[in-house]
C-alpha cells in the first residue's frame, strides 16, 4: 500500500506543480479580483473534508482505550475546538503563535510522512521546518498583506508587530526559508529514493503560489489541492486498498455529513459576523480561526491514535 501511495502522491505533485505554474502565469494579473468567498467555499468543500473522518478514527481510539460510549469522543472534540476559539479571543497573539507552530508540523508531516520511515525527534523537527514554508512564503512575498490578515484576526499586540518588523528588517524570514529548504534536502537524502524528489516539487509549488498570488488565494490552493487532496487519497486507499476510485467514493459518502455540518456552522458564523465586520474580514476570521479550532483536536486525535496503536502492536 505504501508504494501505491508514493506513486499516486508523486503523480499528484507533478500535476499540481505544472497546474499552478500555468495558472499563475496566465492569471496572476487577475487573481487579486478573485472573491474571498470562493476561497471559503473551496476550503469548506475540499479542505475541511480531509478531516471529516475524524469520528471514525475517534471510534478506533475509544476502542483502544476501552471506552464504550461514543459520546465521549464528540464531547471532547467539540470542547477542544471551543477552547481554541475562546483562547483566540482572550489571548490571540499566543494562540496564533501556537497555531502556526502546530500547523507547520502538521503540514510538514502529512505532506511528507508517506516517504519517510523514521519517527525520531530530529525527523519531527524537520517536519516543522519544512511545513513552516507555508507561513514563511506569504511573509516573504506579501509582508504587509499578511500583517493585515493578522490584524483582522484580532492580533493587536505591539510587541507582536515589533517582533515581526524586527524579523523583516533583519532578513530572518529569508534565512528561515533557507532552513526550510535544508530540512527538505535532509529529508530527501535520508534513505535516498528518487521518488522523494516530490519534496522539492512541493517546496517550489508553495513558493510559486505565494510569489504570484495573494496570501489567501495561495493558501487556499495549497490547502485544498495539495495538502487536503493528498490526505484524502491516503484515506481512500485505507478504505479500499484494491481500488482507489472505489475508496474515494466511500470516502466522499463518509465525509459528507461532517463536511456539510461544518459548512452550515461556518455560514451561520459568517452571517453573525457580518453584523460587525465587512464580508472579507468575516471570511478571514471564519477561515483561519475556524481552521485553528479544527486543527488542534484533529492533530491531537492523530497523535493519540498513532501512539495507542503502536503500544498495542
pLDDT digits (tens, 9 = 90+) for 276-286: 888 888 899 99
Q: How far apart are CA 204 and CA 182, in angstroms?
A: 13
Number of H helices, E strands in the chain: 15, 0
251, 263 Cβ separation under 8 angstroms: no
Q: Which of 152, 120, 150, 155 is nearest to 138 (CA)?
A: 150
Cα(115)–Cα(191) distance, rounded to whole angstroms?
10
Confirm if 180 and 129 have CB atoms less than 8 A apart.
yes
Kindly tell me if the per-residue pLDDT of 272 is higher than 60.
yes
The span from the CA of 83 to the CA of 101, in Å, is 18
pTM of this structure: 0.89
Lowest mean pLDDT among 127-131, 163-167, 170-174, 282-286: 163-167
Is residue 260 packed enough to be buried (19+ CB in 10 Å), middle (13-18) or exposed (0-12)?
middle
Report residue 56 CA to chain centroid gap. 20
2 — pLDDT class (breaks 50, 70, 90): low
DSSP structure class, residue 78: H
In this prediction, residue 203 carries a pLDDT of 94
Residues in the chain: 313
Q: How far apart are the first and last CA of the chain?
A: 19
Quote the CA–CA distance of 42 and 39 in Å, as a whole number: 5
30 pLDDT more than 80: no
CA 199 to chain centre: 16
Name residues whose C-beta falls within 8 Å of residue 160's C-beta, 6 or more positions apart in sequence.
Answer: 93, 150
- Angle, nearest 10°, between helix axes 172-189 and 198-212? 160
pLDDT score for 28: 72
Mean pLDDT of 128-148: 92
**pLDDT score of 1 more than 60:** no
In angstroms, how far apart are the furthest CA atoms of the chain? 56
Amino acid at each position: 500500500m505504501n508504494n501505491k501511495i508514493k506513486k499516486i502522491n508523486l503523480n499528484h505533485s507533478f500535476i499540481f506543480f505544472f497546474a499552478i505554474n500555468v495558472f499563475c502565469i496566465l492569471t496572476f494579473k487577475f487573481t487579486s479580483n478573485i472573491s474571498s468567498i470562493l476561497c471559503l467555499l473551496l476550503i469548506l468543500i475540499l479542505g475541511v473534508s480531509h478531516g471529516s473522518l475524524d469520528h471514525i478514527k475517534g471510534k478506533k481510539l475509544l476502542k483502544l482505550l476501552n471506552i464504550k460510549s461514543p459520546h465521549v469522543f464528540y464531547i471532547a472534540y467539540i470542547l477542544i475546538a471551543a477552547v481554541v476559539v475562546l483562547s483566540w479571543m482572550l489571548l490571540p497573539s499566543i494562540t496564533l503563535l501556537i497555531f502556526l507552530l502546530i500547523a507547520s508540523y502538521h503540514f510538514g508531516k502529512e505532506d511528507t510522512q508517506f516517504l519517510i520511515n523514521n519517527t525520531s525527534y530530529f525527523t519531527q523537527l524537520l517536519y516543522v521546518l519544512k511545513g513552516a514554508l507555508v507561513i514563511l512564503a506569504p511573509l516573504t512575498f506579501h509582508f504587509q498583506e499578511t500583517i493585515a490578515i493578522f490584524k483582522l484576526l484580532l492580533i493587536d499586540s505591539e510587541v507582536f508587530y515589533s517582533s515581526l518588523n524586527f524579523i523583516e528588517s533583519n532578513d530572518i524570514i529569508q534565512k528561515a526559508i533557507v532552513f526550510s529548504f535544508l530540512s527538505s534536502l535532509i529529508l530527501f537524502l535520508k534513505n535516498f529514493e528518487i521518488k522523494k524528489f516530490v519534496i522539492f516539487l512541493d517546496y517550489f509549488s508553495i513558493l510559486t503560489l505565494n510569489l504570484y498570488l495573494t496570501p489567501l488565494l495561495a493558501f487556499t490552493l495549497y490547502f485544498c489541492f495539495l495538502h487536503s487532496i493528498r490526505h484524502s487519497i491516503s484515506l481512500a486507499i485505507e478504505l479500499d486498498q484494491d481500488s482507489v476510485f472505489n475508496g474515494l467514493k466511500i470516502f466522499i459518502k463518509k465525509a459528507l455529513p461532517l463536511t456539510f455540518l461544518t459548512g452550515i456552522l461556518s455560514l451561520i458564523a459568517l452571517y453573525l459576523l457580518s453584523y460587525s465586520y465587512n464580508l472579507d474580514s468575516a471570511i478571514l476570521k471564519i477561515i483561519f480561526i475556524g481552521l485553528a479550532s479544527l486543527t488542534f483536536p484533529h492533530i491531537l486525535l492523530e497523535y493519540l491514535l498513532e501512539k495507542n496503536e503502536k503500544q498495542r502492536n
